Structures are given as structure tokens and as C-alpha cells.
């Protein structure tokens, strides 16, 4: 599929990274054609998704990488969609760049990010009940972390009520590369969801083993390599999906979303206690729909006051932020443009960014081996 390149040209192009995989174009064999002559260069790149939205960004990067040899107007880059056999070949090349431990994980049906020296932090965004804005929080926190320069994945594990692809504005399905599923990219976030495999109005009527199998596939078969953060939009409550995630991703950390309403706080508390029983650390609380502020600056606490603070006190963690009710926040979820993208100066956007900054500053949780306890 790929052309043998002049060593100097290969060295230059190997610095250009394919954004879905985080692997350079040369290692993936995506430089299908390169021809130099008459002070110009023409390059054909294999596209692993259809449509291939990073096209323009890659054109700019390739031209920049060749700037020592060619001016921008002398670099012509075209893209060609790959057929199934060519995509399988790219998948084989993805496997070649895995470490020994990562290959062992695949054989044992464990996620790539679960190797012992992994720097990936897995954040479970949880709530006890639906309707508190958990998915909206997961999407906007993911975008905020991406804006901080982090490589971010978002797994929509709310199997019964999947909504993340629409809220994030994903425009194309995942790619299958030789057994690996590569998540699509939208607004700086790599996303995987049951919503890619079912129509919006199709209900999921599955028992526990089927759910466990689907989650295993999303965690193991998806190319989750090299991520700084993977956020998991947990289903509300404490059912089969939450238990399966606790077993498959033991080194995760939980962030609980609630509203100021006392009833919502009490239900959220149950989901937090379930995580504690599975020995998953609770790191913080996010209070959503905390207040509504008029253009004149008046605040109305529509859903009451103090639920987030009370829950954080009960769980002995910090209240990381209080996100207000805003029309652009609601509208963004409907049209696939998160408020952190559409209106970064809004109060809600700034609050999400502050929460993301706190999560980064906290660092991963400390973990202690039980056998090392002093008795």
C-alpha cells in the first residue's frame, strides 16, 4: 500500500502524527505516494475514516514539516480512502507499535491502558440518578481537558441512555483496523459509544452478560493507547454496568455529579458508596444546575441549595465546582456543540475549565497494597 520513501523525506514525514491513533503517518504506512520534481512535491495520504475530518490540519502539518525544502504553495497533499484490506494492514502496523506488556494485555482481554506503567487516568463520571447532567458534565470536562493539551478519550458506558455522540458533535462512525476499533474524533475528544451501533430510537434490552461483553469490547478492542485521560460516562445507579466497570478498570477514580436538591444528593450518595465497596476512590463532587443568573446579575437557586456541599462533606472529598444553568449549555447538547466550544467565556465554560484544572492538579490517587499494611 505505501511507497518506499527517500530516507530524508521519510525522516521528515515520520514527525507528522495521524490524529486518531497518535502514530506517525510513516509507521502506519499511510504515505501512499510521494513524488518530487520541478521544485514541487505531491503526496498522497491514506485516510482511515470516511469522512476524514483532520484533512486540513494534516495538510498544514505536512507543509510545515517540509518547509525547509519547499514553500507552502509547492506542497500538494491529497487523501484517498482505504479499502478493507488496506485498513487491515494499518491495524497490523498498529499492533507492531505496541509494547510487550500491551500485547500481553490484549491476549488476556485487558485494556491497553491497564499496563503497570500506564500514565492514563481513568475518570468515572457517576451519578445515582438520571437527569442531573452527568453526560453533559462528562462531555464538557473532556473538552476542557483537551483544551489543556491533554489527549482525551470519552467512553459512553451509559448503555441504556447513550447520548454522548450527539452531545459531542461526532460526525462519523469508528473505523475498524485489523481488529482494532479506532474512535472518531470531535472537538478534540476521541469518543466511543453504543450509539454508533444502534439507531437513536432503538432500545437496548440486554441482560448482565451481554452488557458485560459489550463493555469488554469497548475497553479491550478499542485502540486506547497513549491517552492522558479516559472519561467514562457511567450509567446512573449501581447496576450491572457499574459492577463490570469496577472489575475491568480497577485503577479508575470516581467523580460524582449531583444537583443542589437534597433528594438528588441522597441518591448520588448511594452510587458513591457502591464505588467505595468496589475499592474505587471517590475524588470529588460536581454540583450541576447550581443556580440561574439573569442578565441583571440576580441569582435564582431553582433546585435549592447545598446538595453538592453536603455530599462532598459526607464523602470526605472536595466540591470541585458548581455549574450554573445556562441556555447555551442546554442548546449545545442538542446541536452537538458543547458550551466549552461554543461559548468558552460563559460562566459554565469557565467553571468546567476550573474543575478540569483541579482534576489535573490533584494527580492520580495514591494506592496502597493491603499486604504492606503495618499490623
pLDDT digits (tens, 9 = 90+) for 230-260: 999 988 765 666 677 778 887 889 999 999 9
Cell of 135: 453526560
DSSP alpha helix (H) spans, the chain: 7-13, 55-65, 84-96, 100-107, 134-147, 164-168, 208-220, 240-248, 262-277, 307-315, 327-335, 339-342, 347-362
What's the whole-number average pLDDT of the chain? 88
pLDDT at 176: 93
108 and 50 in one domain?
A: no
The reply to whether 68 and 21 lie within a common domain is: yes
153 assigned binding-site residue: no
DSSP string, 250-269: TTEEEEEEE-S-HHHHHHHH
Same domain (yes/no): 142, 230: yes
Q: Are residues 196 and 340 in the same domain?
A: yes
Q: Is 133 annotated as a binding residue?
A: yes
Contact 165, 193 (CB under 8 A): yes
- Model pLDDT, residue 141: 98
Contact yes or no for 234/125 (Cβ under 8 A) = yes
Quote the pTM value: 0.91
Spell out, as residue ranges, where the chain has pLDDT lower than 50.
372
pLDDT at 69: 86
| 85 marked among binding-site residues | no
Report CA-CA distances (Å) from 171 to 187, 190, 200. Answer: 11, 12, 14
Structural domain total, the chain? 2
Distance (Å, rounded) from C-alpha 66 to C-alpha 86?
26
Distance CA 302, CA 292 (A): 7
363 marked as binding residue: no
* Among candidate residues 47, 70, 96, the one where a domain is terminated: 96
Domain boundary, last residue among 96, 118, 145: 96
Structural domain for 30, as ranges: 7-96
Q: Which of 48, 64, 96 corresponds to the end of one domain? A: 96
List 35's β-bridge partners, or say none. Answer: 42
Residue 297, marked binder: no
State whether 367 and 339 are in the same domain.
yes
276 belongs to a structural domain: yes
Q: Are strands 229-233 and 121-126 parallel, antiparallel or unpaired?
A: parallel
Q: Is 131 annotated as a binding residue?
A: yes
- Residue 244 maps to a domain: yes
27 within 8 A of 14, measured Cβ to Cβ: yes
Rounded CA separation 236/234 (Å)? 6
Which residues lie below 8 Å from residue 336, measured CB to CB, with a gap of 6+?
166, 167, 168, 169, 170, 186
pLDDT at 238: 58
Q: What is the CATH number of the domain that holds 81?
A: 3.30.300.130
Model pLDDT for residues 73-82, shown as the tens digit of each residue: 999 999 999 9
Chain center to CA of 207 = 26
What residues have CB less than 8 Å from 207, skipping those under 6 apart? none
- pLDDT at position 363 is 94
State the Cα–Cα distance between residues 214 and 300, nearest whole angstrom. 42
Residues 80 and 116 in one domain: no
Indicate the length of the chain as a whole number. 375
Return the pLDDT at 249.
82
Please state, in angstroms and rounded to a whole number, the distance separating the CA atoms of residues 326 and 130. 19
Examine residue 2 and state whether it is found in any structural domain, yes or no: no
Is 180 inside any structural domain? yes
CA dihedral sign, ordered 232, 237, 243, 246: positive
Residue 49 lies in a domain: yes
Q: Which residues contact 5 (CB under 8 A, 6 or more apart)?
A: 13, 26, 31, 34
Q: What is the pLDDT of residue 343?
A: 94
Residue 1 lies in a domain: no
**Residues 203 and 299 both lie in one domain:** yes
Q: What is the 3-state secondary structure (H, E, C) of 112-125?
A: HHHCCCCCCEEEEE
Angle at 306 between CA 325 and CA 298, to 5 degrees: 45
- Supply the pLDDT for residue 262: 77
> Is 71 flagged in the annotation as binding?
no
Which set of grid coordinates corresponds to residue 179?
481488529
72 is in an annotated binding site: no
For residue 27, give Cα distances in angstroms to 96, 223, 244: 9, 16, 35
Amino acid at each position: 500500500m505505501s511507497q518506499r520513501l527517500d530516507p530524508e523525506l521519510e525522516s521528515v514525514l515520520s514527525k507528522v502524527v495521524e490524529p486518531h491513533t497518535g502514530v506517525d503517518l510513516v509507521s502506519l504506512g499511510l504515505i501512499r505516494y510521494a513524488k518530487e520534481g520541478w521544485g514541487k512535491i505531491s503526496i498522497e495520504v491514506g485516510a482511515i475514516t470516511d469522512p476524514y475530518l483532520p484533512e486540513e490540519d494534516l495538510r498544514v502539518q505536512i507543509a510545515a514539516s517540509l518547509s525547509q525544502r519547499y514553500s507552502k504553495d509547492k506542497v500538494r497533499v491529497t487523501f484517498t480512502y482505504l479499502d478493507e484490506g488496506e485498513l487491515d494492514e494499518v491495524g497490523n502496523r498498529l499492533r507492531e507499535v505496541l509494547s510487550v506488556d500491551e500485547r500481553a494485555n490484549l491476549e488476556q482481554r485487558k485494556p491497553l491502558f491497564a499496563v503497570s506503567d500506564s500514565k492514563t487516568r481513568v475518570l468515572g463520571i457517576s451519578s445515582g440518578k438520571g437527569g442531573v447532567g452527568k453526560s453533559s458534565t462528562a462531555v464538557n470536562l473532556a473538552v476542557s481537558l483537551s483544551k489543556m493539551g491533554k489527549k482525551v478519550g470519552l467512553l459512553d458506558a451509559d448503555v441504556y441512555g447513550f447520548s454522548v455522540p450527539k452531545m459531542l458533535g461526532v460526525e462519523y462512525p469508528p473505523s475498524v483496523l485489523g481488529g482494532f476499533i479506532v474512535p472518531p474524533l470531535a472537538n478534540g475528544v476521541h469518543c466511543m459509544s453504543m450509539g454508533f451501533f444502534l439507531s437513536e430510537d432503538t432500545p437496548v434490552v440486554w441482560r448482565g452478560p451481554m452488557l458485560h461483553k459489550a463493555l469488554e469490547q469497548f475497553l479491550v478492542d478499542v485502540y486506547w493507547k497513549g491517552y492522558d485521560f479516559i472519561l467514562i460516562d457511567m450509567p446512573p445507579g449501581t447496576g450491572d454496568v457499574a459492577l463490570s466497570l469496577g472489575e475491568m478498570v480497577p485503577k479508575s477514580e470516581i467523580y460524582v455529579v449531583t444537583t443542589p436538591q437534597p433528594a438528588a444528593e441522597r441518591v448520588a450518595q448511594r452510587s458513591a458508596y457502591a464505588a467505595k465497596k468496589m475499592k474505587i476512590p471517590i475524588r470529588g463532587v460536581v454540583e450541576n444546575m447550581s443556580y440561574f443568573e439573569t442578565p441583571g446579575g440576580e441569582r435564582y437557586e431553582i433546585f435549592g441549595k447545598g446538595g453538592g456541599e453536603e455530599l462532598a462533606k459526607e464523602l470526605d472529598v472536595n466540591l470541585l465546582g458548581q455549574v450554573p444553568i445556562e441556555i447555551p449549555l442546554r442548546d449545545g447538547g442538542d446541536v452537538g456543540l458543547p458550551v466549552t466550544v461554543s461559548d468558552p467565556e460563559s460562566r459554565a465554560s469557565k467553571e468546567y475549565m476550573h474543575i478540569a484544572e483541579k482534576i489535573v492538579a490533584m494527580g492520580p490517587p495514591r494506592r496502597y497494597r493491603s499486604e504492606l499494611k503495618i499490623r
